[in-house]
Structure 1
Amino acid sequence: MPFGLTNAPAVFMDLMNRVCKPYLDKFMIVFIDDILIYSKDEKEHEEHLKAILELLKKEELYAKFSKCEFWIPKVQFLRHVIDSQGIHVDPAKIKSVKYWASPKSPTEIRQFLGLAGYYRRFIEGFSNIAKPMTKLTQKN
């Protein structure tokens, strides 16, 4: 990729999403040049790690091993906590939603919905829950 390309992060992210698609959200998360592999146990993790390293080698993508961390039982990544049980909301972020001051204007409602909406994947029926608040942001 040419140096100084203004949309390089988006282009690289697209490449990583296409290359890693078979594994995304099964045992892998990719964000630009960060790769996170999560597994239920060490044996499964070894298999997942091997599959990803082989994939990267096949696609001629390289990781700088001095920046890699392996066998971490619990990690915070992109406002989530990932462990052997799966992906969870960061408890600190739950507090910020829970203790958010009641919004008084459409702008404040949008701000709250933006924060809460980040966790919609963890809340069944989120759109139905948020619908009344979303209506409050509309004109007339």
Structure 2
Amino acid sequence: MYQKVLQQVLHGSEGVQNIMDDVIVHGSNVEEHDRRLEKVINILRESGMTLNSQKCEFSMSKLVFMGHVLSDQGIGQAYVKVQAVSEACEPKTAIEERSCLGLVTF
């Protein structure tokens, strides 16, 4: 329910990605990022939604999100995920196979 409302509230906001209950604000430079962030904060405030300050991280140049590294260099795989896949053993059972498939596809 919260996710659906959050998506509706932020719909059409430029430079804003909303995945699950996370909101990522990005811009081509610091000024653009800060303008977009201020707009998102105002939209959330006007809609009565709040942010948990303990979970917020601001002005990050690099972000690990859902197994990917997001930065001004582009999108790449997080080292932890690459390492886990490279160290995974060959599956011997159906359960191990599902586990390996889940690791590779996430």
Q: Which runs of 4+ in 1 moved over 6 A?
A: none
Measured in 1, the distance between the counterparts of 2:11 and 2:50 equals: 17
1:28 alignment partner, one of 12, 17, 27: 17
- Normalising by structure 2, we get a TM-score of 0.74
Measured in 2, the distance between the counterparts of 1:94 and 1:23 equals: 33
- Normalising by structure 1, we get a TM-score of 0.60
Which string of whole-angstrom CA distances, capped at 9 and with x for unpartnered residues, describes residues 13-44 of structure 1? Answer: 222223223349x5424432x43323332122
2:56 counterpart residue number: 68
Relative to structure 1, is the Cα distance of residues 100 and 67 closer, same or farther in structure 2, using a 3 angstrom cutoff? closer
Relative to structure 1, is the Cα distance of residues 98 and 40 closer, same or farther in structure 2, using a 3 angstrom cutoff? farther
Equivalent residue runs for 1:1-140 within 5 Å: 11-23=1-13, 26-32=15-21, 34-65=22-53, 68-118=56-106
Identity of aligned residues (%): 25
Superposition deviation, residue 74 in structure 1: 1.6
Structure showing greater Rg: 1
Which structure dedicates a bigger proportion of its chain to strand? 2
| RMSD of aligned Cα (Å) | 2.6
3-state SS in 1 of match to 2:60: coil
Superposition deviation, residue 67 in structure 1: 5.2
Structure 2 residue ranges without an equivalent (≥5):
none
3-state SS in 1 of match to 2:64: strand
Measured in 2, the distance between the counterparts of 1:89 and 1:44 equals: 26
Relative to structure 1, is the Cα distance of residues 86 and 27 closer, same or farther in structure 2, using a 3 angstrom cutoff? farther
